[in-house]
Amino acid sequence: MKAKISEIFESVQGEGLYTGERQLFIRFYGCNLSCSFCDTPLAHYREYSAQNLRREVAAYDGYHSVSLTGGEPLVQAEFLVSFLSLMRQDAPKIYLETNGTLWRKFSLVRDDVDIVAMDIKLPSSGGQKPRWDEHKRFLELAAPKDTFVKIVVGLSTQAQDIVASSVILAPFSGRIPVVLQPAWQDMGPEVLEKMEVFKRLFAEHGLNSVHILSQAHKLAGIK
C-alpha cells in the first residue's frame, strides 16, 4: 500500500495552540471536502510506501512533532495504520490536522496519535453542508487525546453556526479548547469584531476556553 504525499518539509506551526513549535510536516494529497476558504490547493503528489516514508522522516531531527496535514490525512487512513505502526518504534509525537468529519477512519489510528487539531466546518464559512453529527462523533473519539478545535471565521460566518457548534462542544467544556481563526482573505476589523462577539456567545453557552488566533506563519511570511 502506498500513500499520495504532496510534500514533506520542516517549518514552524502557524495555527492553533501549538503555534511556534517546530514541526515536520507531511502533507497528504486529497480531501473529502472542498471548503471555499481552503488555502492549500494540491496539484501534485509522490507515492510512498510506509517504509519509504519512515526513512524520509528519519532524515530530520530537532522537531517537536510530526504533523500529518493535507488535504485530509484520514482519507488515507488505511495507509496511516501501517505507517504509524512503524513510527511507534521511533517514538515521535504525532500531530493530526483534520477536518473532523471522518470519525470512522480516525478510530483506526486514534491510539497512535498524540495531538488532534480538529476543524469544525461551519456551513456559513466554507459553503459545505452541515457536519454536526460527524463532528460530534469525532469529538467523542478525540476527547481523551490532547485535542483542540479550530473554527475559521469569515465575513459570511453566521452566529447560528456558532450556537450549533456550542451545542456539540458543551459536553467537552474544560477539556477541549476552541480557537477562532480569521479567514485569511477576510482579515480586517469587521471579522475581528465578529470573533469577539462569537467568543462572548460561546461563553454564554459555558465555553470559556476560547482563543482568537490568526495564522502566524502567514503573518511571518513563512511556509
> What pLDDT shows up at residue 113?
98
205 alpha carbon, distance to own chain's centre: 23
Cis peptide before 221 (omega within 30 of 0): no
CA distance 208 to 213: 15
More reliable by pLDDT, 94 or 33: 94
Q: What is the pLDDT, as a whole number, of residue 184?
A: 77
Q: Which fold has domain 2-220?
A: TIM Barrel (3.20.20)
Instruction: Report the range of poorest mean pLDDT among 57-71, 95-109, 119-133.
Output: 119-133
Residue written as grid cell 460566518: 157
Range name among 73-77, 184-188, 208-212 with the lowest pLDDT average? 184-188
Distance from C-alpha of 7 to C-alpha of 29, rounded to nearest angstrom: 9
What pLDDT score does 43 carry? Answer: 74
pLDDT of residue 74: 98
36 or 203, which is more confident? 203
**According to the model, what pLDDT value does residue 220 have?**
62
Amino acid at 199: K
- Give the 3-state secondary structure of residue 196: helix
Burial class from Cβ neighbours inside 10 Å (0-12, 13-18, 19+) for residue 181 reads buried
Q: Please say if the pLDDT value at position 152 is more than 80.
A: yes
**Closest among 142, 57, 135, 59 to 93, alpha carbons compared:** 57
Q: What is the mean pLDDT of residues 156-181?
A: 95
**Residue 85, C-alpha cell as written in the block:** 505502526
| Beta strand pairing call for 178-182 and 115-119 | unpaired
pLDDT range class, residue 29, cuts 50, 70, 90: very high
Domain boundaries, the chain: 2-220
Q: What is the pLDDT of residue 128?
A: 79
% of the chain surpassing 70 pLDDT: 93
Place 39 in a pLDDT band, splitting at 50, 70 and 90: low
Position 18 pLDDT exceeds 80? yes
Q: What angle do CA 86, 89, 94 make, to 5 degrees?
A: 75
Contacts 24+ apart (CB under 8 A), 158-163: 158/122, 158/124, 159/197, 159/198, 159/201, 160/124, 161/122, 161/123, 161/124, 161/125, 162/122, 162/198, 162/201, 162/202, 163/201, 163/205
Number of neighbouring beta carbons within 10 Å of residue 150: 21
What does the pLDDT read at residue 24? Answer: 97
